[in-house]
Structure 1
Amino acid sequence: MSTLGSFIWSIADQLRGPYRPNQYGNVILPLTILRRLDCIIEPDRETVRELAAKYDNPNRLKIEVKKATGRPFYNTSNYSFANLLKDADGLADNLADYIDRFSPDVDVFEYFDFKKEILALEKAELLREVITSFKAVDLHPDVVSNADMGDAFEYIIRKFNEAANETSGDHYTPRDAIRLLVDLLFAEKDADLTEAGIVRTLYDPTAGTGGMLALAEEHLLEQNPDAKLSLYGQEYNG
C-alpha cells in the first residue's frame, strides 16, 4: 500500500456528505496532479512570469521557457498553492485562473472537467479546506520520485474504482510487472543503449497512467544519462 496514496486519499474524508465515495476521485485525482505540477514549477515561477511578460507569441514563449527551465510546460498565472489561500473570497476564481494559464500541452484538467468541481466544492464550502490540505503535501520529485508518485496515483485510482464497483486493472499494471516487462524489453539491447549520443523512441499503445513509459525512461537513463528518449503513449480512457 502506498503511504503517500493513503495520506492523499484521507483528504477525501473532508468530502463526506456533499460527495458520495464514488465521486471522491473527481476531486482528489486532479488536485493530486495539480499539486505535483505546482511543486515542479515553483522554483522557476518568477522566471516564467518575466518571460511571459516579454514574449506574446506562445511558440516563442515555449522555446524560451524550455531554454530557461529545461521543461516543455509552464504556467503564467500569478497564483499558485503558495498564495491561493490569501484571497478567501476569490479562491474559486483564482484557482480557475491558475488552471487556465498552464501551457496548452497541459490539458489534463479539461478531461477531468475540473472547473465544475471547483464550483461544486465552493458551493459545499469545502474548497478552502481541501486546498489547505493539498498545500501541506510536498510532491516535488526531489521528495517523491516518479515511481512513488505513480504508486500513489494508482493507489488512489484503485480506491476510487473500488468505491464505484469498477475494476482497477483497467487503468494500471502493478509496478513489479512493469519492471519485469521493462527488463525484458531492454534485455538484448543493453549494450547498444550505452553508446554515446543514442536516440530512441518508446511507444505504449495502452498507456494507462504511464507507468511503463516512466520506468522505461528511468531504466535507460540509469545506463546512459546522455541518451535522448522520446516517449509516446495512447490511452482510450481520457
Structure 2
Amino acid sequence: MSKVLSSDSSEKNDGVAAVDRALVIATSLANSGSALTLTELSLRTGMYKSTLLRLLSSLEKAGLVVHRNDKRYALGPLAFVFGRAFEQTNGLQDAIHPQLVWLVNQGTESPSFHVRNDDEHRLCLMRIDSNHSTLDRIRPGDLLPIDRGAAGKVLTSFGQGLPAKTLNAQDLLFTSFGERDPLCGAIAAPVFGPSASLVGALSVSGPLERFSELAVSRMKSLMLKAAQEATQNLGGKWPLVG
C-alpha cells in the first residue's frame, strides 16, 4: 500500500523545493556577470516565468535581488551583506590578503585565493594583479573547473584535510602548465585552518612564457612561505615538512 504524505510533510517538501529554486536563481545571477531579463533567467534556470516571478518577488522583498528600471534582475544589497559576513566569520580577508600583497611585492605572477564551490567548480575569492604588463584573466567571483589548474589540484588533494604523515615540501606544491588555459601557468599551495582542515588554495598564475625553470623554483619557495603564514594567521597548524 502506498504511503500518503501528511499535509505537514507536503508543506515541508514544498518549502524545501522553493528554497532550492531560490538558490538556483541567486546562483544564476551571481554567475552571469551582468543583470538578466526574465527570459534569460528562465533559459538559465529552466524554470517557467510564472514560477520565477513568484520567487523573485520574495527575493526582492528580502533584498537578495533587485528589479532594475531596465526590467532586468540583479543581485541586491543582501548579497553584499552575505559576502562581508562570510569574510568576517572566517577571518579570510585579514589572513589571506596580506599574503597576496606580499607575493606581488616579491615580483611573482598574479596571486589569488580559491575555495571549493561544489564537486565541479572552485571559486576565486581574492585576486591581486601582478606588476607585469600582461596578465591572465581571473577575477574574484569567477567559477573555474576544479579538475583543472594548480588550485584545483590542491582542493581535490587535500579535500579531507591534512594527512597525518610527514610531508615533503613538494607534496604541498602543485603546478599546471596550459591545463585550464593553454597560454597560462600556475603554482598553488594549500592553506589550512584549525583541526588541520583545508581552507583553500593560494596560487599565482600568469602567462606560460614567464614560467621558466628558474622562475618556477623561486615562486615555489615564496608560495610555501605565504601559505604557511596564512595558515598560522587562521590558527591552523602548518604540516611538518620532511
Higher strand share: 2
Larger radius of gyration: 2
Pairwise TM-score range, normalised by the shorter structure: 0.3 to 0.5
Please give the TM-score of this superposition, normalised by the length of structure 2: 0.32
Higher helix share: 1
Please give the TM-score of this superposition, normalised by the length of structure 1: 0.33
